[in-house]
Chain A
């Protein structure tokens, strides 16, 4: 009997909570008068959201084109400084792309649908599928001899029976053969930096991996260069395709449907629930928590070849900030490209306290992320430290701040009259 009544409490809590929430929608709201303007504010925000999406993807595409140019030049006549130029261009392309990750929220969004995200940012990477690797010892790469199987080097690059083309590399990302993530940022990262087998630095792939002839440090340099170029082409193409779907004034594209007058509430709900789920589950959860486990491996980080994972954290946050403020600034130049009605403004209309809570949550997340960003140790060295040290605590605080942001977004969502979102649902 005791267990029944405990169970009842839980259930009744849920039922009653749901009913309470439901009631709110049905009942006249205190903000009834201002609601006449409400929808148009919602539309203004959605329009801002779409503009920032288009700008973000266009910026990412442009940065990827710069990277592509650098890569083509490097592969044409490889030298150390051109490899550096590629790395610099890669970093800039990441900064632009990471701000696009916030757009993974809405149902059917162009980044997630048709597998675009998988071609751009798949992780973990099957690097042994792409090119030679060093032997590992079950925990950390210790042996600087390259792995040979039946006397041959690993990887697509080193299998001269396989043709390197965009169709072939994209084809391997299909249903069923998803083992072989062969393209995207992290593939390029691996081809530029190589494996990170070092404590104090990212990967140190020599530029001579791309030099044919006597100074070559690895066989199949021609194919390696070709592979890298094809990856860059694919990245530009796919970012361009996604940007097109957010382009203004194109009848029937995703943006047009997203902004349709009849779909205002559906789109806004979808935006909010996507943000609520991703902030908690993905950014605060899966991208961080496995690395906080006691026995986490050194490279349980997304940018494991270049040691740029701290950038990943930082610019993902900026992506969210862009939506809240309604402002998009080019990170490198500080140039403002969009400045309009952000989510905070929209929420302010119905509940100013919730809006300031949101602002505080994003500010807190930024500062917590900065602590990690400014830590002396690279992220992979923080991961392998034992629990209880201040760096790991900082990573935990960053995770907590993401979860807090999720809660604040949920409150804003409720204030806008929508049902509470379960952040743990996929």
Chain B
């Protein structure tokens, strides 16, 4: 046992005794013994489970993603609950008596945040009949560079495809999804199958789509831990960047710089599949605007093309803006303060083996397991914490297979931001599925790993060389993350 762990255990032991005057002495002693036993047997520090330190949530139920971090002061619970109300409940067509909640559309992907981020979790890419759900949205652009380095919107359909509308407006069309199966082989001879999606846009209501249009599918991601990721300082994130791969490990890591509406300047991109949003607030306001047709002070105009704007100019709006700043702040606060669920089964031998393999084959080079947050004014309790998000928040070239061939600010068509993995094992419990990657093509953890290419290609190669038992162990680690 390391010295540090001994010290930790002592601290733990003392604190338990002090903290539990009401509890029977015998019980606390037993608890200390059992913690010590875990350590002795496995060498595992029980604190390992706490991925977000004191912002971790002790819950593994289907509600696990929707719980406020316990270290957020209780006097801010009202903001959290109001934020939740506006996140989860639907928005309605204007004019409506519920003036705080109207202004939906004219075009939209969904009528509430929660419709795609079910239970604050991850969306499904398609239903049982392989029809895309509202959780899967499509960014559109044509070749060229727009304002502030953004991509140029497709002229007839804008920056994202909106397959739904309010009554009286015309939805943009439908997306047909199909998959091509591809076979591959592990070093031990076992075959595996991957599926690659193809999308066809049909019944288009606003004319033909530009033949050179670039399409990027994006699946709604789970929310826990967003505030802690926002609390990482730019310096910390950049310290892991190596855009020219100076250390020649085959892994570069590039920061995206994107337009920040609030400061009207370019800022480090943090959120979204290509790190194309600089802050939670802008991510939230952008989703309100693009996905639901709700305007805000950050995005005061409806996300319509000129043609659509002309068609729907008489449609009433839900106020200017449709979501006011205090509601926007509350929804932002809600998203920022969702705590991260604890890891499960941390001392299970297979989890321990899987964790070691995860590091050994190189996953941790991008899925960083230890970062320290900086000063965070939105939630001061999240400042200067050691967290284990399993991301470096940087862009990596993931190879041809995963590429969407659509640039997004500095991100190239084959670059994606390392998604955080904390809590990912609970997607199955919360959302009843295990569809991973930016478009949900991976049907489980195994396929998600096997899709890694480019900078992630070497780790994937190593994965295919593992024995079946080792592969299971690595996946078991992820299932308990």
Contact = CB atoms under 8 A, between A and B. Distances in A.
Interface in A171-196: 175-181, 195-196
A285 to B, nearest CB: 4
B93 A126 contact: yes
Interface stretch (A5-13, A30-38, A50-58, A312-320): A5-13
B66 interface: yes
Interface string B81-108: 1101110011111111111111011001
A200 interface: no
A373 interface: no
Interface string B111-141: 1100100011000000100000110000000
Nearest to B100: A297
A177 B31 CA distance: 51
Interface string B340-375: 000000000000000000000000000000000000
Contacts of B173: none
B324 interface: yes
A426 B85 contact: no
Interface string B1-18: 000000010011001100
Contact of A136 (B92, B127, B316): B316
Contacts of A3: 384-385
Nearest to A19: B31
B205 interface: no
A293 interface: yes
B67 interface: yes
Contacts of B20: 16-17, 20
Interface residues of A, number: 74
A175 B164 CA distance: 12
B67 A422 contact: yes
Interface residues of B, number: 79
B86 to A, nearest CB: 7
Interface in B357-404: 384-385
A5 B120 CA distance: 31
Contacts of A248: none
Contacts of A422: 59, 67
Contacts, number: 222
A176 B93 contact: no
B78 interface: yes
Given A16-B28, A129-B92, A129-B93, A138 B320 contact: yes
Interface in A124-158: 124-129, 133-141, 147-150, 152, 154-156
Contacts of A222: none
B47 interface: yes
A292 B22 CA distance: 37
B126 to A, nearest CB: 12
A290 B112 contact: no
18 contacts: A7-B53, A8-B12, A11-B50, A15-B16, A15-B46, A20-B22, A122-B90, A124-B90, A141-B95, A141-B97, A154-B93, A154-B168, A156-B167, A159-B167, A176-B164, A292-B78, A424-B77, A426-B66
Interface of B: 8, 11-12, 15-16, 19-20, 22-24, 27-28, 30-31, 35, 46-47, 50, 53-54, 56, 58-59, 61, 63-64, 66-68, 70-71, 77-78, 81-82, 84-86, 89-102, 104-105, 108, 110-112, 115, 119-120, 127, 133-134, 164, 166-168, 314-320, 324, 326, 384-385
